Structure 1
Amino acid sequence: MDNNYFTEKIAPKNKTAQENTQPKQTQPVNIPDDLTEHRANHDGKSAAQPAKPAPVKQTQPAQPVNIPDDLTEHRANHPDNKREEKRPERRENSPKNDGNRAPRQERRDVPRREKKPAESGALTEIIGVRFKDVGKVYYFAPGGVQFEQGDQAIVETARGVECGEIVLTNRKVPESTIVSPLKDIIRKATQADIKQLEERRRQEKEIMQVFGDKIAQHKLDMKPIDVDCTFDGSKILFYFTSDGRVDFRELVKDLASVYRTRIELRQIGVRDEAKMLGGLGICGRPFCCSSFLGEFQPVSIKMAKEQSLSLNPTKISGTCGRLMCCLKYEQNCYEEFLRTTPKVGAYVETADGKGRVCETNLLTGILKVQLDKNPDAPITVNKADVKLLKDGQVRISRDEARALKGLEDK
């Protein structure tokens, strides 16, 4: 391309653009101190001359508006004026208005339903009912009926209508010790009710035999334990034990087709099994759980350790294979002895010198202490004759915990 193109076409344009972009130099304006002569010479061109005030438009005086006291007619003639319709309502409900506030006063007069806490000294009358030979005692309201020990009563429970034995006669207890409200008894058992209860117990033996046959027919890994029929016959409960989970849906369908009522299967543990079946313990007496214990209490290996018992599974476990329930009976006494007696491993000071406790007898308070100066010959002292320097702890070794792991009921 010819270089003259840039010289003649583009260059002059660029040059002009550069000239146009340069700011123009303005001449300095001489502003005199006195502007009287300037205003006289520029009378029609002065921009600083103040603008003439706009003529004031004369308005006619406002006519007085007659506002009636009753706005009913005005609202009827102006139904679209919602703003005027709402304003009187705000004034009526406004706290500054001294007018009629009847609607709000009426709502305040309505009392609210609030649950009042039970008085600390309030008493309520109860009776205790037990449904099993050895089971939990449930409280009911007698409903004005007087009962004697051993009477039968018809009551309504979560399982249905049941017939139970009165083990606690009419008495008054504080309301804070029970769960309110109590259910009332239906009636005192009659001779017809007792005959019906005996008939249910006879049917349970026959149902138990059918239950065992059905388990063998379906080839299920479960052991039948007991059968319980409700008083009104609306439900039959089957109790069984098993090492694991069992799919008994087909068994339930089969039993329901035979008895035409509601069927419920419950898997129980070995402790409940011993409670239902009963037997004799290693002490030669009937099981505590099947004799007088209403509920099972938690028992741990630490209790046997604190009572200085031999941690031999065959000596501290019952027929059910769990720790004996009787370990719980004297645990409170042993805990009190442990607070006042130095434990094994405690560092004490005796009249013969300082040493470490190697054996204790919580019941007698006799200690065996290995002195620092002669550890091979422990001395026997009373706990009242020593000064505790550092107490020990009752600990279970890993080997003991591993050997007794299956005895605790989880």
Structure 2
Amino acid sequence: MFAVVGIRFKKAGKIYYFDPADLPIERGSFAIVETARGVEYGEVVIGKKSVSEGDVVLPLKRVLRIADAKDAAQVEENKVAAKKAFTICQQKIADHGMEMKLVDVEYTFDRNKIIFYFTADGRVDFRELVKDLASVFRTRIELRQIGVRDEAKLLGGIGPCGRILCCSSWLGDFDPVSIRMAKDQNLSLNPAKISGLCGRLMCCLKFESDTYDADLEVADVK
């Protein structure tokens, strides 16, 4: 068994396990950890608990320290800098005449990297854009192409149900959704009624799918 804490880096992001060592970390606090992207700031959403080896990816990275007010201020500064970087990158994209849509910009906590998220209809050769951005920001640049579902998750919005999008408010992972789920639930197959803001089938079709599958199995037995 391994002692772990679950940390989330975005509001509706995935939860990752880290080794808390001997730190007095509690749920709801914030921590500084080392990730594959570099040093990051995240919220502890799962307090200390023990899990089996099959539930973690070894070796576990350790929590470096509990975050303080200075770290929180750094996060806010990074958000302000990211907004400025967004404007600069948009202008660079226009200068190069590139067919891509910039969706979001994010600094890693230690500012060793800036990540630019974008959407495009196909593959994009952004090598010259990266060179331009690197000359401006003097740090590592990553351009990451994302899909329409990830775009909706980053931007947020109000779904057809009148609620904030599940993907941007609490849904950590995207589960596969099929038209069969809509059929089993006797829903209209009109794309406008079963599609979310992203244009794909609504994630909520998956929520009750297992219940309908169970009902169909009972009906088959009868």
* Aligned-partner residue type, residue 138 of structure 1: Y
Alignment partner, residue 220 of structure 1? 98
Structure having the higher strand fraction is: 2
In the TM superposition, what are the counterparts of 1:309-320 in structure 2 within 5 Å?
A: 309-320=187-198
The separation in 2 between residues aligned to 1:150 and 1:219, in whole angstroms, is 45
Alignment partner, residue 248 of structure 1? 126
Does the aligned pair in 2 maintain the 1:146–1:170 contact within 8 Å? Answer: no
**Structure 1 position 158, deviation (Å):** 0.6
In the TM superposition, what are the counterparts of 1:325-404 in structure 2 within 5 Å?
A: 325-342=203-220
* Aligned-partner residue type, residue 135 of structure 2: S
> TM-score normalised to the size of structure 2?
0.96
The separation in 2 between residues aligned to 1:283 and 1:174, in whole angstroms, is 39
Q: Taking CA–CA contacts closer than 8 Å with sequence separation of 6 or more, which of the two structures ends up with the larger relative contact order?
A: 2
Alignment partner, residue 107 of structure 1? none
In the TM superposition, what are the counterparts of 1:150-229 in structure 2 within 5 Å?
A: 150-229=28-107
The CA RMSD over aligned residues, in Å, is 1.4
> TM-score normalised to the size of structure 1?
0.53
Does the aligned pair in 1 maintain the 2:18–2:62 contact within 8 Å? Answer: yes
**Structure 1 position 173, deviation (Å):** 2.2
Alignment partner, residue 201 of structure 2? 323
The 3-state SS of whatever aligns with 2:63 is coil
The separation in 2 between residues aligned to 1:133 and 1:206, in whole angstroms, is 22
How big is each residue's C-alpha offset from its partner over 1:114-173, in whole Å with a ceiling of 9 and x where there is no partner? Answer: xxxxxxxxx221101111111000000001112223211111111111111111111222
The separation in 2 between residues aligned to 1:222 and 1:207, in whole angstroms, is 16
The separation in 1 between residues aligned to 2:37 and 2:92, in whole angstroms, is 24
**Structure 1 position 201, deviation (Å):** 1.2
Query: Of 2, 7, 12, which residue of structure 2 is paired with 1:134?
Result: 12
Does the aligned pair in 2 maintain the 1:126–1:139 contact within 8 Å? Answer: yes
* Aligned-partner residue type, residue 144 of structure 1: D
**Structure 1 position 286, deviation (Å):** 0.4
Which ranges in structure 1 are unaligned for 5 or more consecutive residues? 1-122, 343-382, 385-410
The separation in 2 between residues aligned to 1:232 and 1:202, in whole angstroms, is 14
**Structure 1 position 330, deviation (Å):** 0.7
State yes or no: 1:308 paired with 2:186.
yes
The percentage of aligned residue pairs carrying the same residue is 59
* Aligned-partner residue type, residue 254 of structure 1: D
How big is each residue's C-alpha offset from its partner over 1:309-348, in whole Å with a ceiling of 9 and x where there is no partner? Answer: 2211111111110000000011111111111215xxxxxx
The 3-state SS of whatever aligns with 2:213 is helix
**Structure 1 position 220, deviation (Å):** 0.6
* Aligned-partner residue type, residue 68 of structure 2: T
* Aligned-partner residue type, residue 321 of structure 1: G
